[in-house]
Amino acid sequence: MYRSYLTPLSAVRAFEAAARHQNFTAAAEELGMTQAAVSYQIKILEDRIGAPLFTRKARGVQLSQAGSLFASKATDALDILSDAFAQAKGHTEETLAISAAITFGTSLLAQRIGKFQIENPSISVRIDVSQALTDFETDGIDIAVRVGRGNWPNLTSQLLMPVTFTPMLSPALAEEIGGIKHPTDLLKLPVIELGDPWWRQWFRKAGVEELDVSNRQKLELGSQILEATAAVAGQGVGILTPALYRNELARGQLYQPFDLVCDDGTGYWLVYPENRKNLPKIKAFEKWLKSEILEFQEAAL
């Protein structure tokens, strides 16, 4: 009974492009239409809705209240239609492009992703590890694992695990000074990324209020996975997320001298555009990764 409200798809496409660009001329160029044709298609919508969708300005247009209400739904509807068409042609199941924070992608995801592919043989996987935030509109990425507080606009965000940190080093390096008995013993050794706020926070929680690092040499590596590699090689003490280095701890490559583990309120989050939540490949990966994280956390208990 709702089909009587439907309007021509060409009118919706013209409106959606004009709403994104806030300009009829730019919308016309994108769609390969004339500006007059775009204006005509939008007028069809306005006649059906019974209210103006734009307020005309000297150098463009601005969405009216009715236009703002319609704009996001129109974009979602076109995305859903595009996804449905691609799925019908068999394209959406070909590749799942995942962007992951470097440490999470290297230490956890890459070591387990083969299980996902075995369970989902119709989905190929491409993983891009990067510190940069993904632009889902331009980077060709379907889903991402980000570090933060989960407050990214227009994205569905689900917490996978908190980010925690504590000092870790190679056992051999600890033995060079007769072992680590007090937090200040760490300062007798090279400290990796000593300018990292995590260090100051951890030392403060450990009861070391005054931390003078002004005269110390600095080793900056830019990512936790590189810091861990350097720590394993005996190059210094790293401030690391212990959950991600269980294997290195179990093999004796890394040593955690203190039980004190801190967090700064951030976490690893699974994120993707809200309008992709019903794509089968997104749902399959989300379900699998949550199960893996749960198994991973239970194994630590």
Please report the pLDDT score of residue 135 as a whole number. Answer: 85
**Are 249 and 115 within one domain?**
no
Total domains, the chain: 3
Q: Which residue has the tokens 């004009």?
A: 18
Phi, psi of 87, rounded to the nearest 5 degrees: -65, -40
pLDDT-derived band at 33 (thresholds 50, 70, 90) equals confident
In contact, 164 and 291? CB cutoff 8 Å: no
- Nearest-angstrom CA–CA distance, 182 and 189: 13
Q: What is the 3-state secondary structure (H, E, C) of 59-115?
A: CEEEECHHHHHHHHHHHHHHHHHHHHHHHHCCCCCCEEEEEECHHHHHHHHHHHHHH
> Are residues 44 and 180 located together in one domain of the fold?
no
Report the chain's C-alpha Rg in angstroms.
Answer: 26
**pLDDT for res 57:** 77
Residues 109 and 245 in one domain: no
Do 168 and 252 have their domain in common?
Answer: yes
Give residue 219's domain range: 164-263
Average pLDDT over residues 47-74: 82
Q: Does residue 231 sit in helix, strand or coil?
A: helix
Say if residue 149 is in the same domain as residue 7. no
pLDDT digits (tens, 9 = 90+) for 175-222: 999 999 999 999 999 999 888 899 999 999 999 887 766 666 667 777
pLDDT digits (tens, 9 = 90+) for 270-282: 999 988 888 899 9
For the entire predicted model, the pTM comes to: 0.67
Task: Report phi then psi at 99, rounded to 5.
Answer: -105, 130
Q: Do 140 and 255 share a domain, yes or no?
A: no
- Of residues 258, 264, 301, 299, the one with CA closest to residue 168: 258
Q: Is residue 169 domain-shared with residue 256, that is, in the same domain?
A: yes
